[in-house]
């Protein structure tokens, strides 16, 4: 079923959210839309897992929320990366690259 969104690889959701927020602070819905767009519809976030991850990241002090009006003049909570969050994202991106390359090499070996 090509239209069914894939499950995320375990533990990568946090990284994706951090990456999204690194580009620009946004609210919960914005995060899920942006992840969907960037993955070209491969990942579709369930609200439960999204807000669970947001709460987790917030408690770990990686992101920070702030109520602000949207362009349609609605109140929404906008999240932004903290310094700690930025550092974590850098680390994880580097680590991910390393692992993905390694896995790729293994899968391509014949």
Partner 1 sequence: MLRNIASGLRSLFRKEHVDRELNEELRTYLEMASAEKIKQGMSRKDAVRAVRLERGSLEVTKEVVRSAAWESFVETCWRDLQFAARMLRKNPGFTTAAVLAIALGVGINVGIFSVLNGAMLRLLPIPRAKQIVSVDQTFHGRFQRDTHGETSMFSYAEYLDYRDHNQVFSGLLAYEPFIEATLAGGKLQRLLGTASTCNYFEVLDEHPAQGRGFVGSDCAAPGENAVVVIGDALWKGTFGGDPALVGKRILLNRAAFTVIGITRPGFTGTEPFPSAFWAPITMQKALDSGRDYLASDNVSWLAMLGRVRPGVTMQQVRADLAVIAGRIDQSHPGRTTSLGIARARFFSRADEREVLVPVASVIFAAFGLVLLIACANVANLLLARASVRHREIALRLSIGASRGRLVRQLLTESLLLSLFGGALGSVLALCSFASITRFVVSRLPHEFSTLTVNVAPDFRVLAYALALTVFTGIVFGLVPALKSSRLDLNTALKEDSAHSGEGKKGGLVRSTLVGAQIAVCMILLLASGLLLRGLYYAQTVDPGFEVKDIAGAFLNLRAQGYDESRATAFVQGLRERIAALPGVFEVAQAECAPLSHDWSADEFTVPGRTDKTGIEYNHVSPEYFSVVGIPIVRGRGFTQAEARNDATVIIVTESTAQRLWPGQDPLGKTLRAGNGYEATVIGVARDAQVSHLGQLNDPYLYYSAGPRDNLRTYVLLRFAGGYPTIAKGIRQAVHALDADVPVDINTVDDYLEVWRIPSRIVAALSTGLSGLALLLGSIGIYGMVSYGVSRCVREIGIRMALGADGADVMNLVLRQAMRPVLIGALVGMIACAVVSQVLSSMLFGVSAHDAIAFISAPLILLVVALGGSYIPARRAMRVDPMVALRYE
Report the interface residues with partner 1, using CB under 8 A. Answer: 27-29, 32-33, 44-48, 51-52, 55-56, 58-61, 70, 72, 74-77
Q: How far is the CB of 26 from partner 1 (least distance, A)?
A: 11
| 7 vs 108, beta carbon nearer partner 1 | 7
| 68 vs 94, beta carbon nearer partner 1 | 68
Q: How far is the CB of 10 from partner 1 (least distance, A)?
A: 16
Q: How far is the CB of 29 from partner 1 (least distance, A)?
A: 4
Structure tokens at 110: 């014949």
Q: How far is the CB of 20 from partner 1 (least distance, A)?
A: 15
| 4 vs 105, beta carbon nearer partner 1 | 4
Q: Write the DSSP string, the chain.
A: -TTSPBPPPTTHHHHHHHHHHHH--B-HHHHHHHHHHHTTTSB---HHHHHHHHHHHHHTTSEEEEEEE-TTS-EEEEEEE-HHHHHHHHHHHHHHHHHHHHHHHHHH--
| 77 vs 94, beta carbon nearer partner 1 | 77
């Amino acid at each position: 079923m090509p239209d069914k969104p894939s499950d995320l690889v375990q533990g990568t959701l946090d990284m994706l959210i951090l990456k999204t927020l690194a580009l620009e602070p946004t609210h919960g819905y914005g995060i899920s839309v942006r992840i969907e767009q960037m993955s070209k519809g491969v990942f579709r976030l369930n609200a439960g897992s999204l807000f669970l991850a947001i709460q987790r990241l917030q408690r770990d002090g990686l992101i920070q929320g702030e109520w602000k009006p949207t362009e349609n003049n609605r109140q929404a909570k906008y999240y932004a990366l903290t310094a700690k969050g930025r550092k974590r994202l850098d680390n994880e991106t580097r680590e991910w690259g390393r692992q993905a390359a390694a896995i790729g090499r293994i899968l391509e070996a014949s």
